[in-house]
């Protein structure tokens, strides 16, 4: 008796574009790779260069050594790279004091927020930073100025109850990887309470965060489930999952790799959305798609909502080094 082979169920897979690496992440990874190529291993990296375990392990295998603080770095002249999230001013100051050779991989859009904070302080304004406590980008931004200079606003409730500490004009800045909609609500509350509050000339939330959230909004209502490929400690990846859920997709999952897929959650689905946070490499997206192709008859459609062609300059010390693909 011949056993029948059951056909695989059909699945429409909507693949968001843009997704994955942004220009700041691509630049940060290139900085570590080119430093390894030019100076040899080890190259020390303070904090995860970007929030993605796969990327970190890949660089570690090439000779990068990840540390949390500079006191873990020996005084042997090896290069030190500061992560894309930015660092407090005390970190490069300590590196200079110890005569270290360091390369700053801070995303230029994060550096823009640092400059705004310093400018507001020079103009004698009381500064509010919209962001998440404990995130390295927030620590780096608050660390551009003396302790206590910047106040953190995490929620609309914080904005509603904040009491100015001085008689100075207020100014707000923000973390670059926040939810666009959540931040707009916080800004609306601050603007209603403090009509003369100074704000950025251009939004602090970066183009890549905005574009990826818009792409998820575009597909979420059509999907039975959405997968965001990204790390749990990646702010922009977490926001993508939240956006999908808010836009009506009740099965929105953040996964680092295909091995984390709980297949029971995908029984009977007809349409799946897939995107990736700004620090997730495309190979992990392909891994997830391949896993679904093994179980479903996949009809893949790329849904593009924006074009991205931004690139940032490398540090001068590395510009004569041969460029490797990130």
Q: Mark whether 72 is an active-site residue.
A: no
CA–CA dist 31, 104 (Å, integer): 9
Catalytic residue, chosen from 33, 126, 137, 189, is: 137
CA–CA dist 128, 151 (Å, integer): 5
Q: What angle do CA 41, 143, 242 make, to 5 degrees?
A: 85
Q: Which residues fall within 8 angstroms of residue 113, CB to CB, at 6 or more apart? A: 141, 173, 174, 175, 176, 204
Whole-angstrom Cα Rg for the chain: 22
Strand partners, 303: 16
CA–CA dist 98, 271 (Å, integer): 56
SS3 content of the chain, % helix, strand, coil (to 5): 40, 20, 40
CA–CA dist 142, 154 (Å, integer): 14
CB 41 within 8 A of CB 62: yes
Q: Which residues fall within 8 angstroms of residue 110, CB to CB, at 6 or more apart? A: 24, 84, 85, 86, 137, 140, 141, 176
Q: Where are the alpha helices (DSSP H) in the chain?
A: 23-39, 53-62, 90-97, 108-122, 136-142, 156-161, 180-193, 207-220, 235-246, 282-293
Active-site residue set: 137
């Amino acid at each position: 008796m011949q056993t029948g082979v059951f056909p695989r169920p059909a699945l429409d897979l909507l693949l968001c574009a843009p997704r994955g690496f942004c220009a700041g992440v691509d630049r940060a990874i290139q900085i570590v790779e080119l430093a390894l190529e030019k100076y040899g291993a080890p190259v020390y990296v303070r904090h995860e260069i970007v929030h993605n375990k796969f990327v970190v392990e890949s660089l570690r295998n090439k000779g990068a050594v990840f540390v949390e603080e500079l006191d873990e770095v020996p005084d042997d002249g090896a290069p030190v790279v500061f992560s894309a999230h930015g660092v407090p001013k005390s970190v490069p100051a300590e590196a200079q004091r110890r005569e270290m050779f360091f390369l700053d991989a801070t995303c230029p859009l994060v550096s823009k927020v640092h400059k705004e904070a310093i400018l507001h302080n020079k103009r004698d304004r009381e500064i509010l930073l919209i962001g998440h406590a404990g995130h390295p980008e927030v620590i780096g931004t608050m660390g551009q100025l003396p302790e206590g200079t910047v106040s953190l606003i995490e929620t609309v409730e914080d904005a509603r109850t904040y009491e100015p500490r001085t008689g100075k004009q207020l100014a707000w800045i923000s973390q670059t990887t926040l939810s666009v909609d959540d931040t707009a609500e916080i800004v609306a509350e601050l603007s209603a309470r403090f009509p003369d509050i100074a704000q950025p000339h251009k939004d602090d939330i970066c183009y890549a965060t905005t574009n990826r959230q818009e792409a998820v909004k575009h597909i979420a209502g059509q999907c039975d489930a959405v997968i965001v490929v990204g790390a749990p400690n990646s702010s922009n990846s977490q926001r993508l999952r939240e956006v999908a859920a808010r836009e009506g997709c009740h099965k929105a999952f953040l996964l680092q790799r295909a091995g984390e897929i709980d297949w029971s959650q995908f029984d009977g689905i007809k349409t799946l959305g897939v995107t990736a946070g700004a620090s997730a490499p495309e190979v992990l997206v392909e891994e997830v798609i391949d896993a679904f192709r093994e179980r479903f008859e996949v009809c893949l459609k790329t849904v593009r909502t924006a074009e991205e062609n931004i690139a940032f300059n490398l540090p001068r010390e590395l510009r004569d080094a041969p460029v490797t693909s990130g």
